[in-house]
Amino acid sequence: MTAAVGWDTRLQVVLGGTAAWIGKHIGYTTVGQLLSHYPRTFVPREEASSVADLVVGEPVTVVGAVASVTVHPYQDRRTGRQAYRTEAAADLDGGRLWMTFFDTKRGVAEGRREKLEPGRRVLLSGKVERNRFKQGRLELTHPDFDVKAAERARSSLQPIYPVTGKLRSWTLENAVAVVLDVLTEVPALVPDELRSERGLLGARQALEWIHRPQDWQQYGAATKRLRFEEAFVAQVALAQRRHEQRGVGTTARTGRPGGAFDAFDELLPFTLTEGQRRVEEEVLADLAERHPMHRLLQGEVGSGKTVVALRAMLRVVDSGGQAALLAPTEVLAQQHHRSLTALLGDLAAGGMLGGAPEATRVALVTGSQSASARRTALLEAASGEAGIVIGTHALLEDKVQFADLGLVVVDEQHRFGVEQRAALSTRTEGSPPHVLVMTATPIPRTVAMTVFGDLETSSLAELPAGRGEIQTTVVPLAEQPAWLDRVWSRVREEVRAGRQVYVVCPRISGDDEADVAVEPDPEPSTVAGEGSEGRSSRRPAAVEELTPQLVAGPLAGLRVAPLHGRLAADTKDEVMRAFAAGDVDVLVSTTVIEVGVDVANATTMVVLDADRFGVSQLHQLRGRVGRGGHHGLCLLVTGAPLDSPARQRLEAVAATTDGFRLAELDLTMRREGDVLGSNQSGSRRTLRLLSVVRDADIIEEARAAAVDLVERDPGLASVPPLRSAVAALHESQRTDYLDKT
Ligand code: ADP
Ligand code: MG
């Protein structure tokens, strides 16, 4: 019986025992998963891998020609028995790679020697070491190797697959070959007319050529097709979501004359910038529609997004609804609560004696507040007494109910996923709320189109007038260790001049294993992208260690306070209040202050071990200073050596305050991972072809085609394989969300 083998066929059916091995190491269980794991590179049959690809300490898979092999018998000192050391070498392009094997049985050593016949082509896999006793030559100890896979002329390009642990490239190569040979059905995700219009390969052909091309041209044609396909599926998913959103009805929130919105106008201590007015108009127009707003507001750090959001919230309150403001950290939620309450003055005294009739209340919900404070806040939210409810992730919990939630504002979106937005949107029984997402991390257009492609966007580039300049300087301790003293005297000078200072450390305490470069929820894409290049081996600065050292040493006599995510909520709030009130001179903190914290009198920021932070993070951090009329100063202290990538990154941050340029830079430096949502779960990381940096054109064209298709055929009935792929994508995003919470 020959059953059809398709995308969802279990690998076990096709591969038998190997399937378990593959499943164990890389988590794939279906044909589709395996075939979506593309080779990392190819080595032409007549050539060898380049020796330049070898990195000491890193695992490699390379192909080369055996140059020599010798077996040396010797006496094992420990056991006193006869043993055999086999030394072999392979010629790579530009140099030699050695192999050493140790055996106790002569037969095994001899068998290996026979296989490694000089001149034969061999695939090698192991960890690269440098042998200090043999002129520092590069070696693999007990590598796995395969001469058959290397010699079998399956293709004139030898594929090298990305692998983990004990899984070998040639195991995947063989498995893929078996699967491709029996595969009967390949889902055609790109509709035929689109395919021929764009001159793309058929699905089957593309798979064949991505895994075993005969030449680079075939490989090129395959990537062209698969890149487009990848972009297209993601864009169809987004187009569908937008389409569905347009179909949903909700309450229009148009406000009323003489309400809180108008009253607030009188209170505003400044005039709105052009940009703020324009964005506000866009938002208010959306709120007046009968289907929910889904808008992304990107604004440069310090451009004044909060006021715009507050005015939108008041508009909703005036319409009898409530607004929720979701902040990524407790510190930020508390600050929003303090500053919005202050800005609103009497308008936040709703229900109180002497409160104006148009007034409302502002409630705060966080994870670690006292039980009674939380109870009061939840009651005010549920009864509708609080027109504005501010909170952290705690707001996403089921217990939080609203009387009539009309607007959800998500501040600093980069910490929240698509599905978390969705979670709040479904929180009320009645009509779904309007959603405004705000971010100060400028998002390159292509990423906006892919990750946030279901949102309309507004941008706020200008800063309110009267802002000081921010000067950023790298303090290179590798060459100038004495400069650290000058940093601290500079801090003293600022404080003497009546200003305040932030000192930022990558860790909370000295015994933390990992950096807390992002608190409270690590953002792997930023942190992981840094790698270990050029960092100093010194232990990175930690808040709890550094604070007493500063107090006892260079900052003696100043009022210094620590702040980090592990402090109790009350303590955090107290410290921030004291700093905002000018009762603390120097705040030693982790990145809890990264986003949104707003203290105008703070003019200087010292970032210690700055090389541990990502580009966007540094830009965010630096945005904390230069907020009043005073000039800001940001000192990026680093032990990273001159010319290291880490150092170059810091110089780039110092060279520009243009958030958009830095975002592009950040993106090219990160591992791209899969921004398109075809995500990994567990060890299942699929290497994808599309690059949001390089493939802007493809993404744009895919988007146009997707919109076109969804308009004609919203249910994708005409392309069933696409319909299932898109459904799977929606589903994986839902489960990602569940994984994260
Ligand atoms: P961000 O966009 O980074 O969230 P904020 O909303 O925190 O910026 O605003 C930064 C500071 O600028 C706040 O203290 C805010 O009160 C002030 N601000 C906002 N708009 C204006 C304006 N039009 N003129 C002067 N100051 C403003
Ligand atoms: Mg903000």
* 384-388 average pLDDT score: 95
| pLDDT score of 423 more than 80 | no
Query: Which residue CA neighbors atom 20 of ligand 1 most closely?
Result: 304
**Beta-carbon contacts of residue 580 (< 8 Å; ≥ 6 apart):** 335, 338, 599
Atom of ligand 1 minimally distant from the CA of 600: 14
| pLDDT reported for residue 516 | 56
| pLDDT score of 674 more than 80 | no
Q: Coil, strand, or helix at residue 389?
A: strand
From the CA of 462, the nearest ligand is: 1
| Calpha distance 438→328 (Å, rounded) | 11
Task: Please answer whether residues 684 and 210 qualify as being in contact, where contact means their C-beta atoms are separated by less than 8 angstroms.
Answer: no
| Calpha distance 350→356 (Å, rounded) | 7
**Dihedral, 694, 695, 696, 702 alpha carbons, nearest 10:** -170
Model pLDDT for residues 628-641, shown as the tens digit of each residue: 778 899 999 999 99
* 213-241 average pLDDT score: 92
| pLDDT score of 514 more than 70 | no
Q: Coil, strand, or helix at residue 247?
A: helix
**Amino acid in position 93:** D
* 360-372 average pLDDT score: 91
Task: Please answer whether residues 467 and 598 qualify as being in contact, where contact means their C-beta atoms are separated by less than 8 angstroms.
Answer: no
* 502-529 average pLDDT score: 59
Q: Does residue 135 or residue 209 have the better pLDDT?
A: 209
Task: Please answer whether residues 126 and 101 qualify as being in contact, where contact means their C-beta atoms are separated by less than 8 angstroms.
Answer: no
* 291-306 average pLDDT score: 88
- Confidence band of 543 (pLDDT split at 50, 70, 90): very high
C-alpha dihedral sign at 485, 486, 490, 496: positive
* 724-729 average pLDDT score: 88
| pLDDT reported for residue 521 | 32
* 106-126 average pLDDT score: 93
Mean pLDDT score across all residues of the chain? 85
CA of 305 to the centre of ligand 1 (A): 7
Model pLDDT for residues 554-565, shown as the tens digit of each residue: 999 999 999 998
CA of 571 to the centre of ligand 2 (A): 22
From the CA of 340, the nearest ligand is: 1
What are the backbone angles phi and psi of residue 330, rounded to the nearest 5°?
A: -65, -40
Ligand 1 close to Cβ of residue 305 (< 6 A): yes
Using DSSP bridges, classify how beta strands 294-299 and 157-160 pair: parallel, antiparallel or unpaired.
unpaired
| pLDDT reported for residue 444 | 67
Place of tokens 């200073």: 625
* 727-740 average pLDDT score: 64
| pLDDT score of 643 more than 90 | no
CA of 628 to the centre of ligand 1 (A): 10
**Is there a common fold for 43-160 and 260-460?**
no
Model pLDDT for residues 679-707, shown as the tens digit of each residue: 322 222 333 677 766 777 888 899 999 99
| pLDDT reported for residue 129 | 92
**Amino acid in position 383:** S
From the CA of 272, the nearest ligand is: 1
| pLDDT reported for residue 136 | 87
| pLDDT reported for residue 669 | 62
CA of 242 to the centre of ligand 1 (A): 31
| pLDDT reported for residue 446 | 67
Ligand 1 close to Cβ of residue 598 (< 6 A): yes
Atom of ligand 1 minimally distant from the CA of 309: 6
Least confident of 43-52, 107-116, 338-347, 409-418: 409-418
- How far is C-alpha 152 from the geometric centre of its chain's CA atoms? 41
Using DSSP bridges, classify how beta strands 405-410 and 434-439 pair: parallel, antiparallel or unpaired.
parallel
Using DSSP bridges, classify how beta strands 294-299 and 361-365 pair: parallel, antiparallel or unpaired.
unpaired
Model pLDDT for residues 156-188, shown as the tens digit of each residue: 888 999 888 888 999 999 999 999 999 998 999
| pLDDT reported for residue 620 | 84
Choose among 574, 562, 486, 566: nearest CA to 519: 566
Q: Any idea what the Cα angle at residue 249 is, between residues 248 and 252, rounded to 5°?
A: 135
Model pLDDT for residues 601-625, shown as the tens digit of each residue: 999 999 999 999 888 889 888 988 8
| pLDDT reported for residue 721 | 92
Ligand 1 close to Cβ of residue 440 (< 6 A): yes
3-state helix, strand, coil in the chain (%, to 5): 40, 20, 40
Query: Which residue CA neighbors atom 18 of ligand 1 most closely?
Result: 304
- Confidence band of 513 (pLDDT split at 50, 70, 90): low
CA of 594 to the centre of ligand 2 (A): 10
Query: Which residue CA neighbors atom 5 of ligand 1 most closely?
Result: 304
* 464-492 average pLDDT score: 91
Using DSSP bridges, classify how beta strands 137-141 and 121-131 pair: parallel, antiparallel or unpaired.
antiparallel
| CA distances from residue 19 to 9, 26, 172, 175, 705 in whole angstroms, order as listed | 12, 10, 10, 8, 37
Among the CATH numbers 2.60.40.790, 3.30.70.1150, 3.40.50.300, 3.10.129.10, which is that of 470-656? 3.40.50.300
| Calpha distance 310→261 (Å, rounded) | 9
Query: Which residue CA neighbors atom 12 of ligand 1 most closely?
Result: 304
| pLDDT reported for residue 676 | 33
From the CA of 460, the nearest ligand is: 1
* 724-732 average pLDDT score: 85
- Superfamily for the 43-160 domain: Nucleic acid-binding proteins (2.40.50.140)
Q: Where are the domains of the chain?
A: 43-160, 260-460, 470-656
Place of tokens 């593959």: 22
Q: Which helix (H) or strand (E) holds 137?
A: strand 137-141
Ligand 1 close to Cβ of residue 589 (< 6 A): no
- Confidence band of 532 (pLDDT split at 50, 70, 90): very low
| pLDDT reported for residue 526 | 30
Q: Coil, strand, or helix at residue 696?
A: helix
| Calpha distance 367→461 (Å, rounded) | 33
Query: Which residue CA neighbors atom 13 of ligand 1 most closely?
Result: 304
Model pLDDT for residues 67-94, shown as the tens digit of each residue: 999 999 999 888 889 999 999 999 999 9
- Confidence band of 417 (pLDDT split at 50, 70, 90): low
Site to probe by mutation for ligand 1, drawn from 307, 439, 441, 470 as the one with most ligand atoms within 8 Å of Cβ, is 307
Ligand 1 close to Cβ of residue 273 (< 6 A): yes
- In CATH, the number for domain 260-460 is 3.40.50.300
Q: Does residue 589 or residue 132 have the better pLDDT?
A: 589
From the CA of 305, the nearest ligand is: 1
C-alpha dihedral sign at 62, 66, 67, 68: positive
Ligand 1 close to Cβ of residue 303 (< 6 A): yes
| pLDDT reported for residue 155 | 67
| pLDDT reported for residue 298 | 87
| pLDDT reported for residue 685 | 32
| pLDDT reported for residue 2 | 59
C-alpha dihedral sign at 305, 306, 309, 315: negative
- Confidence band of 368 (pLDDT split at 50, 70, 90): confident
Ligand 1 close to Cβ of residue 299 (< 6 A): yes
